[in-house]
Structure 1
């Protein structure tokens, strides 16, 4: 029977690529999304992947969402915590809401999803968590104290939870993408983007499928001896 994986933020950008890669590798994929019903419906029709709507920043919504996935597809064996938002601004201009929303979604979402799924993995003695961090959580970024803090927190969360899960066959790893050619990056002004690319040793933006293949490997049986690790996929921009 195919293993079931939840990919949060799994219907667009890097999340879509992850969902498709895991389906290709034989997982039954549940793609979570937060708001765009039309885009999620189109994704489901195009890919045949089931979609489920909930807000990962809410513990109650995560518990209910996981329950819906389990009722529809079966016990959850793996979680890819990919959902994330940005509310950029310098500290002096950043509101308390901008801070809280990013922390609650990007970092809190990882906790909420682990809380809702860890016990089942423990009982079955097999599980995978892959948490999507960021180069900006490793190196920092001007105007992103909220985002950088949340993503840096993901890396610490990963190492701590890995120690709790190891003896139960549960691995917990992170991937820290660099600048990837997604809609979010495409919205960056051309002159700013060219300066970013100039700092990437391989000379280009990354592709979503390059992140997805890393996730697929970490979710596989072949990665059973890897836990508490962060895989940086950033073209050499930050060697951490």
Structure 2
């Protein structure tokens, strides 16, 4: 009975061991990269769904029951409804809810959720975090987060070239423009968008304007 290995068997064993120690780490690295890519894709999809949901809500809490343009205290006067002509810049007679109900009879409210506790308008989602945790087989956890901020910003100048602002106005200052940001990233990097952060994925931006809610008038078809 043979008790040793031939030279050929020894060489083959060394080759197999070399292949194993070369390929397996690469496979593990590739699987980890694939998992990270999948996690980032899922985070992006959820962030897009979040901003889509927010933008489908009324502009302000007072728009949940009243459709007209709301009055603001720090807006550009160029966007005010003209009480004489019934016009608003960019609108038409009777349009943009400038005449009925009574002109700007309701004021825009503060950023944040109202006492009713409902998330039924855009700014109810200000400063909210959504953290998603997944338990892995080895007990480690993969985490990504989505953070939403909403703030009043300066109205764009009524000019040929429109510049949209992003700097929040001061306390108790309300304009015709709300700026929405949705940040998404791994770990805690979602709370403030910084492309230089290793785990930051991206940020979604949108400006929403005080134009009231669209109403459709109906008429009975004549017999």
Superposition TM-score, scaled by structure 1 size: 0.23
Larger helix fraction of residues: 1
Superposition TM-score, scaled by structure 2 size: 0.24
Q: Rg: which structure is higher?
A: 2
